[in-house]
Amino acid sequence: MEITTLTPKLGAEVHNVDLGNLTPVDEEGVKDLFRKHLVLVFRDQALTREQHKAFGRLFGELQTHPAKTNLGMPGDPEIFDINITAKTKVANGESWHTDLSCEPVPPMASALYITEVPPSGGGDTLFANMHEAYATLSEPLRELIGELSAFHDGRKDLKVYGYELRPGQTYPSASHPVVPVHPDTGQPLLFVNEPFTESINELTAAESDALLDILYKHIETNTRFHCRVKWEPNTLVLWDNRAVHHHAVWDYYPESRRGERVTVKSPARPAPARSL
């Protein structure tokens, strides 16, 4: 394998590897690169759905998507479908977020395999390093948020797509520390995102809104801890869902972008940095 870094602190392209036919040495190499770079880009992959799933399972059990298990939407529950066309009203992932932070145990990783890209260009995905997002806050603000927890509610995200729960339906919600630690490294990171985070539990509504707005703007506007992936057909991108936020740029209307994503379960809930 050969590596081309995207930025010094986030992201790498991995060359000369076939994800559908990994050797044991390749598997360990990919896992090491994942721990180091947090976002990995693999181009020119020809994967079946089962091969895509098998790659995800190298990192753990796959997580089923609540839109399919809880709401009865059709399709494979281990697959999240990306199908943005001229008929789409709200594109998936248009706000900075981490996947399914509303789950009691949010996923550890996501692997998105894009097979169709807009012919005229566009449709890039931006990523942000949440270790750096936390580290670049002022010390007084780090001290404040280190004692806080936030409520993440999947119903907030559903409303963006015009979906309201019907009687008898449920959707995940959970509280997580605003500053958890990464389970592999013990390093603190920022863990709030606009699509799923409803409020900070210890603050009034007005205080919560004001503080979350500061944190969201910090994540969105500090390009020094971002990287950008330009998609090509048959590209798979793997990212650490605990330590990285992403934003799918919808700048290609009315053209289409299609693919499928799998997410990998985390073995444990996020642990607050203050407990260590």
52, 65, 99, 152: the active-site residue: 99
Q: Domain holding 233: CATH number?
A: 3.60.130.10
Largest CA distance in the chain: 54
Per the domain annotation, does 15 fall within a domain?
A: yes
Q: Please give the pLDDT value at position 72.
A: 86
Per the domain annotation, does 102 fall within a domain?
A: yes
Active site residue 97: yes
37, 52, 65, 97: the active-site residue: 97
Burial 142-174 (b: 16+ CB within 10 A, else e): beebeebbbbbbbbbbbeeeeeeeeeeeebbbb
Active site residue 157: no
131, 176, 246, 247: the active-site residue: 246
Per the domain annotation, does 109 fall within a domain?
A: yes
User: Which segments of the chain have a pLDDT < 50?
Assistant: 275-276
Per the domain annotation, does 274 fall within a domain?
A: no
Per the domain annotation, does 150 fall within a domain?
A: yes
Give 45-111 as a 3 state SS string. CCCCHHHHHHHHHCCCCECCCHHHHCCCCCCCCCCEEEEECCCCCCCCCCCCECCCCCCCCCCCEEE
Q: How many domains does the chain have?
A: 1
52, 176, 226, 261: the active-site residue: 261
Q: Please give the pLDDT value at position 276.
A: 41
Q: Domain span at residue 255? A: 2-266
Active site residue 261: yes
For 189, left (φ over 0), alpha (ψ -120 to 50), or beta? Answer: beta
Are 111 and 237 in contact by the 8 Å Cβ rule? The answer is: yes
C-alpha 262: how far from chain center:
11
Q: How many other C-beta atoms are found inside a 10 Å radius of the C-beta of residue 259? A: 22
Rounded to two decimals, the pTM is 0.96
Q: Sign of the C-alpha dihedral, residues 135, 136, 137, 140?
A: positive
Question: How far from 275 is each of 34, 37, 92, 147, 272, CA to CA, in Å?
Answer: 26, 26, 35, 10, 6
Per the domain annotation, does 72 fall within a domain?
A: yes
Per the domain annotation, does 272 fall within a domain?
A: no
Q: Sign of the C-alpha dihedral, residues 65, 71, 76, 80?
A: negative
Question: How far from 263 is each of 7, 55, 204, 208, 234, CA to CA, in Å?
Answer: 24, 11, 34, 29, 18
**H or E stretch including 228?**
strand 226-229
Q: Which of 254, 253, 256 is nearest to 231 (CA)?
A: 256
Active site residue 245: no
Residue with tokens 């009203």: 89
Per the domain annotation, does 69 fall within a domain?
A: yes
